[in-house]
Amino acid sequence: MMHAQLKDKLPAVRAFCESHAIGELYAFGSVIDGRFRPGESDIDLWMDLLPLTGVEEPRRLLHIWIGLQEILNCEIDLILKKEIRGATFIKYLGLYQVRIYPE
């Protein structure tokens, strides 16, 4: 079950994804499995970016990371889809991830 810290801000997060060429965004971890504690927990996200020409990826990632933290009003851990590795982690995501964007 998604915690209100994320659920209440889904429209703003989805609008941000649309305007920043994010192809997919998923949440996982404590914000999904019921262990989230406001003020203590971060929000775990993974994303896949749509290609953009003329934009450096590190700068783009920093901008997205800061923007999502501002919307969600908490710290986030942000992983790129291309960096997801490990059979155990992939299995965990298969069980406990929730698609945020696109709907």
**Would you give per-residue pLDDT tens digits along the chain (103 residues)?**
899 999 999 999 999 999 999 999 999 999 999 899 999 999 999 999 998 877 788 899 999 999 999 999 999 999 999 999 999 999 999 999 999 999 9
The structural domain count of the chain equals: 1
Q: Which residue has the tokens 């019921």?
A: 34
Residue span of the structural domain in which 48 resides: 4-101
**CATH code (residue 84):** 3.30.460.10
Tell me how many degrees the CA angle 44-5-24 measures, rounded to the nearest 5. Answer: 45
Please answer whether residues 1 and 87 qualify as being in contact, where contact means their C-beta atoms are separated by less than 8 angstroms. no
Helix (H, G, I), strand (E, B) or coil at 8: coil
Listed in sequence order, the residues at least 6 apart from 34 whose beta carbon sits closer than 8 Å to its beta carbon are 1, 3
